[in-house]
């Protein structure tokens, strides 16, 4: 993909509930995305994988992915809280500029990043990855461009995280990370 103006990867589970009254919220699970190269992606959205409070996206595998983002994000954007928009039509632009340039992952159970690389074409004041309300995350051979003084990874309410040769962070296993930055 080249010159992407929206999220290169977008998985969204919401609660629009436009079907029959007895219908329940759908599921997104067992998704494998691999062998993708993206150049000159607009980093306002980054990649978004977002379930809903109490309705996790489950069992996601991302492998052999390389994304070049154009960068340019600010500290104000990095501090932004992202609304859920659970009842809205699922479009990446609705979320606005994301607080991470690479991947924003929220309300997810069991996600693996294998040989994933996010690269900036110019500096960005936002982290590469934000994980929020994630249960079970693995980073294996993950690389990310990093602007001096900006963390590569922010964890909020994360349970069971494994880092192996990733993000220039020493290998580690965390059982619980309420609010961590690396």
- pLDDT tens-digit readout, 74-84: 999 999 999 87
Confidence at residue 83, expressed as pLDDT on a 0 to 100 scale: 84
21 in any annotated domain: no
**Residue ranges making up the domain that contains 89:** 10-14+28-181
State the chain's maximal CA–CA distance in angstroms.
52
Confidence at residue 16, expressed as pLDDT on a 0 to 100 scale: 59
Report which of 139, 119, 123 is spatially closest to residue 131, judged by C-alpha positions: 139
The rounded Cα 93 to chain-centroid distance in angstroms is: 15
5 in any annotated domain: no
1 in any annotated domain: no
> Average pLDDT of 139-145?
98
DSSP 162: E
Structure confidence at residue 17 as a pLDDT band (50, 70, 90): low
Where in 18-102 does DSSP place strands (E)?
Answer: 29-41, 47-50, 57-69
Structurally, the chain folds into a number of domains equal to: 1
Cα 37 to Cα 152: distance, rounded to the nearest angstrom? 20
β-bridge mates for residue 52, sequence order: 55
Report which of residues 90 and 34 the model is more confident about. Answer: 34
> Average pLDDT of 35-39?
98
Cα 140 to Cα 164: distance, rounded to the nearest angstrom? 5
């Amino acid at each position: 993909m080249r010159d992407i103006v929206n999220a290169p990867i977008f998985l969204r589970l919401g609660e629009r509930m436009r079907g029959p009254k007895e219908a329940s919220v759908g599921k997104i699970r067992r998704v494998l995305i691999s062998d993708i190269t993206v150049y000159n992606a607009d980093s306002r959205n980054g990649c978004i994988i977002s379930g809903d409070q109490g309705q996790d996206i489950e069992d996601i595998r991302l492998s052999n992915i390389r994304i070049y983002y154009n960068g340019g994000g600010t500290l104000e954007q990095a501090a932004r809280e992202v609304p859920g928009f659970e009842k809205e039509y699922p479009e990446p632009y609705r979320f606005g500029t994301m607080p991470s340039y690479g991947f924003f992952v929220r309300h997810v159970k069991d996600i693996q990043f294998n040989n994933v690389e996010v690269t900036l074409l110019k500096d960005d004041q936002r982290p590469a990855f934000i994980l929020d309300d994630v249960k079970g995350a693995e980073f294996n051979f993950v690389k990310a461009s990093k602007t001096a003084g900006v963390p590569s990874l922010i964890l909020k309410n994360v349970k069971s995280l494994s880092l192996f040769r990733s993000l220039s962070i020493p290998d580690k296993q965390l059982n619980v990370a309420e609010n961590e930055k690396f």
